[in-house]
Amino acid sequence: MSERRSKHMDNFVDERDQELLARDKYTFFVMKRVLSLEGNVLLSDHEKIVLCYTGAPYPVWIWTDDGIDEADMERAYQLAKDNAFLDGQHSFNIKYSLADYFIRRAASDGKKLAIKTNMFAYDCPDPVAPTSEVSGQIYQVRPNDLEELVDIIDKMYKETGLEQKDRAGYIGDAKDFIASGKAYFWKDGEGNNVASCKYTPNGDMASLNLVYTRPEHRRKHYAENLVYQVTMKAKEEGYLPMLYTDADYVASNACYEKIGYVLRGKLCTIR
């Protein structure tokens, strides 16, 4: 067995790993944040491979160096296999080169992996105000909006096909979002909460997510205006706004680009 194949994996991360992830600060923004959470599965050689898993229903994140060869890709595959992540119940957020290897390698084991989502990572150094006029205004989500926020989270996860939690899990998330003071609705001219968005700071960046518009209120530019307003709030606090999108949602990506978001990186989810 080669030295690379047998290289020891630590079950902790340190400043070396933060430096590795900084090379892909857009595509692995979320992974950098979750590395600090307790209860994670953490494996790293501090050089070529960093693996992180926070638990269901979230994906397994595997960062790999751009110069990784097939021997190291095999090590990553074996890590996933040895930790029972190739059981059909887990998905992986990884670079395209590793995704291609995982798909081919799993086939040799009689398993089928496929790309589930193509992701784009954007940042927004210079927000551009929307030109569309819409009724209503931004509204900070408050404790008495808990049930409505839970309903929106549930609908968004079901519609986008993301791994889902039970209602108790959504309630816990919604309470955290509200407590952060960084979750917002767009309230239309009639007082209806028609769209949602929030941001999560990490270091000098802030990730926008929970972008959702109720179906009956779409194509009215609510999300465009809400995302812009939340982007400005993050920027005014000194953060560089960024977000992930489904690369196949052309209309949504065009909306983000219209208000100043710039494509910085690509990633994929396989399952």
Question: pLDDT value at position 35?
Answer: 87
CA angle 226, 232, 236 (to 5 degrees): 150
Kindly list the distances between the CA atom of residue 75 and the CA atoms of 10, 70, 78, in Å, as whole numbers in the listed order.
14, 9, 5
All residue ranges of the chain with pLDDT < 70 are: 1-6, 39, 162-163
Question: pLDDT value at position 4?
Answer: 42
Question: pLDDT value at position 40?
Answer: 83
Residues in Cβ contact with 118 at an 8 Å cutoff, skipping those fewer than 6 apart: 246, 247, 248, 266, 268
Domains of the chain, earliest start first:
15-113 (no CATH), 123-264 (3.40.630.30)
Q: Is 35 exposed, middle or buried (0-12, 13-18, 19+ CB in 10 A)?
A: buried
Instruction: Give how far the C-alpha of residue 133 lies from the chain's centroid of Cα atoms, to the nearest Å.
Output: 30
- Looking at the DSSP bridge assignments, the partners of residue 234 are none
Question: pLDDT value at position 162?
Answer: 66
Beta strands 115-123; 137-140: pairing state: unpaired
Question: pLDDT value at position 2?
Answer: 39
Q: What is the DSSP string of 153-183?
A: HHHHHHHHT-----HHHHHHHHHHHHHHT-E
